[in-house]
Amino acid sequence: MKRTSRALLAVLFSLTPLAFAQDLAFSLMFAGFPDSHITEYDTAVELPRRVLIWVSFAVALYLIYRAFRANDRRGVVHLGVILLSYVLLFVSAKHAVDFYLKDYLQLDFGQGG
């Protein structure tokens, strides 16, 4: 595998975890209401989202490392498996935290009414 294709592969595969981390960072920045009221939900979800952000950065760095180590088709397939498993775990963890805090603990998340 050529060096330029490895670099392209590293960039493309690391964009997904970085985009997820950016989405979580934006959701933390826009927490609360315009009058500076932070709900119980926003307070409780801050730590799990920060953990997911750091995990996303770690996975992005690992994918970059593995992309430069991939020498054949098998290495590229391993990258795809790592990325797919990360996406599945990320989405399930994010929804599990939301379900636990909103439905199970029934925290106020500013739904009104």
At 89-100, the pLDDT tens digits run 999 999 999 899
What local confidence, expressed as pLDDT, does residue 5 receive? 80
Query: At residue 83, what are phi and psi to the nearest 5 degrees?
Result: -65, -45
Q: Which residue has the higher pLDDT, 33 or 67?
A: 67
What local confidence, expressed as pLDDT, does residue 19 receive? 95
Instruction: Name the domain count of the chain.
Output: 1
Q: Which residue has the higher pLDDT, 35 or 83?
A: 83
Position 61 in a domain: yes
Position 15 in a domain: yes
What local confidence, expressed as pLDDT, does residue 113 receive? 54
Token digits for 84? 């797919």
Give the structural domain span for 90: 3-104
Position 99 in a domain: yes
Position 30 in a domain: yes
CA–CA separation, 52 and 58 (whole Å): 10
What local confidence, expressed as pLDDT, does residue 109 receive? 74
